[in-house]
Structure 1
Amino acid sequence: MEFAAVILAGGRSSRLGGVAKASLVYDGATLLEGALQAARGAGTVVVVGPDPGTLPGGVLSCREDPPFAGPAAAIAAGLSALQRHRAGSGGVAPPLTLVLACDMPRVDAALRVLLEAAGTSSPSGQPLPEAGPPGDGYMAVADGRRQPLVGLYGTTALQRSVDEAERRGMLINASVSGLLASLDVREVTVPSGATDDVDTWDDASALGVSGLIHGHQPGNRSGTSQLTPTLEANGEDPG
């Protein structure tokens, strides 16, 4: 089944001292590169966040307005960028849109299961235990926890939720759970740990993620002078 992808790669990373999560390294690649690889089946991909200047050809880039306005606003910006791209190319909206945060180093395993669910069968051709009517899409559930930032959502339904939130003035600094509350999604159990994310240096260390940019290592919570180049590059005040 065709799908587009919105990859969220912004945010202040306040618990990482301002170091961009997208630039952290796992298994020889940045977390953003890993997210792009996990979403490789998408027809069109947009990365929402500061443009790292190293995106593969054909990958779109945009920013939520205002910057750091939260994941709901970032999803809205991503959908808008995809719409503009389709308008310019004469394309049509795919039935599903993947929403994916870039800070989950093991998310590839979760996406494989979600995509199998969307196709209603596994690669072996056997029906999946959770196969059934898609409703407004599919959301990953790992270790009993829903993860809305690993979801394949009906494009029309997702846009409808964004439009309603915007109409009510509830996009800026809004939660993704709130944005998606009206959607009838099917929960899909994915492998344990597949949606574990990096919020702190302790998380990074536990997941085998390295903070190699500007000399950072997991657990290094100090060093303002090391952070200054990263913050300035993102247009932030080092203070």
Structure 2
Amino acid sequence: MSGGRSAQAAIAIILAGGRGSRLGGRDKAAITLGGERLVDRAVSAARDGGALAVIVAGPAAAVPPGCIGVREEPAYGGPLAALAAALERPEAATATETLLLSCDLVDPAAVVGRLSGARWPAGADALVLRDPDGREQWLAGRYRLAPLREGVTALGAVSGLPIRQALSGLRIAWLDTAADDVADIDTPEDLDRARARSELGAD
């Protein structure tokens, strides 16, 4: 991974276990865009960005070949519980930094490119993208694993807690970016827009 950090120390954690309730219960990871599952697009972007191990938190069907699968307990315990499960893997214990991505990013390559090309400011624990409206995109970030783990473990039981509760105490370097770069798929309308955008890009 670039930006002054060693690729040897980098992993990626991709969260792929949500219920997709605003999509009528559809499995987000299995939704296709441009002929690829969303989770496969995120994994490819992470690998292209230098991640030597990719941990996918979600059901077994969401875990692409060559990735490490984990599942939060209880299932559907939320993204923070999924992150906590991923951090228990030995790959996370030996690495120094991680990409943290949601599987439903429309353009994960743009997210990873922005994060991988940035340099760590002195004292920062994380680089996190922020959209033009000022919304923090916690699942489009690059984190030092030691403070990330400390933020999660300090909470104790994490099932059902919002992920920002563990991450907002970190020293964050915000990277402002275009809305399209951090677009995700939460609703049928989001999916329609993403597919229209994908078709335009293929022309």
Q: Shorter-chain TM-score: which interval? A: 0.7 to 0.9
Alignment TM-score, normalising by the size of structure 2: 0.86
Query: The residue matched to 1:147 in structure 2 has which SS?
Result: strand
Partner of 1:36: 43
Partner of 1:65: 73
Partner of 2:106: 105
Taking a change above 3 Å as real, the CA distance of residues 54 and 100 of structure 1, as seen in their structure-2 partners, is closer
Identity %: 33
Which one-letter code corresponds to 2:106 in the other structure? P
Residue 164, structure 1, aligned to residue 154, structure 2: yes
Q: Do the aligned residues in 2 keep the contact of 1:93 with 1:155 (CA within 8 Å)?
A: no
Measure, in 1, the Cα distance between the counterparts of 2:63 and 2:55: 13
Which one-letter code corresponds to 1:104 in the other structure? L
Measure, in 2, the Cα distance between the counterparts of 1:65 and 1:53: 16
Residue 191, structure 1, aligned to residue 200, structure 2: no
Superimposed CA distance per residue, residues 64-86 of structure 1 (whole angstroms, 9 cap, x where no aligned partner): 000000000000001112x2x47
> 46, 58, 65: which one pairs with 1:49?
58
Partner of 1:20: 27
Superimposed CA distance per residue, residues 30-67 of structure 1 (whole angstroms, 9 cap, x where no aligned partner): 1001000110121111100001176222x100100000
**Structure that is richer in helix per residue:** 2
Alignment TM-score, normalising by the size of structure 1: 0.73
Using the TM superposition, give the Cα deviation of residue 93 of structure 1 relative to its aligned residue in structure 2, in angstroms: 2.2
Which one-letter code corresponds to 1:163 in the other structure? T
Q: Aligned residue pairs: how many? A: 186
Q: Do the aligned residues in 2 keep the contact of 1:16 with 1:199 (CA within 8 Å)?
A: yes
Q: Do the aligned residues in 1 keep the contact of 2:20 with 2:27 (CA within 8 Å)?
A: yes
Residue 137, structure 1, aligned to residue 118, structure 2: no
Q: Map of 1:75-90 to 2, 5 A cutoff?
A: 75-81=83-89, 83=90, 85=91
Query: The residue matched to 1:208 in structure 2 has which SS?
Result: helix
Q: Any gaps of 5 or more consecutive residues in structure 2?
A: 197-203
CA RMSD of aligned residues (A): 1.7
Using the TM superposition, give the Cα deviation of residue 186 of structure 1 relative to its aligned residue in structure 2, in angstroms: 0.3
**Greater C-alpha radius of gyration:** 1
Using the TM superposition, give the Cα deviation of residue 96 of structure 1 relative to its aligned residue in structure 2, in angstroms: 1.0
Partner of 2:17: 10
Taking a change above 3 Å as real, the CA distance of residues 172 and 29 of structure 1, as seen in their structure-2 partners, is same
Measure, in 2, the Cα distance between the counterparts of 1:44 and 1:134: 25
- Please identify runs of 4+ aligned residues in structure 1 that moved more than 4 A: none
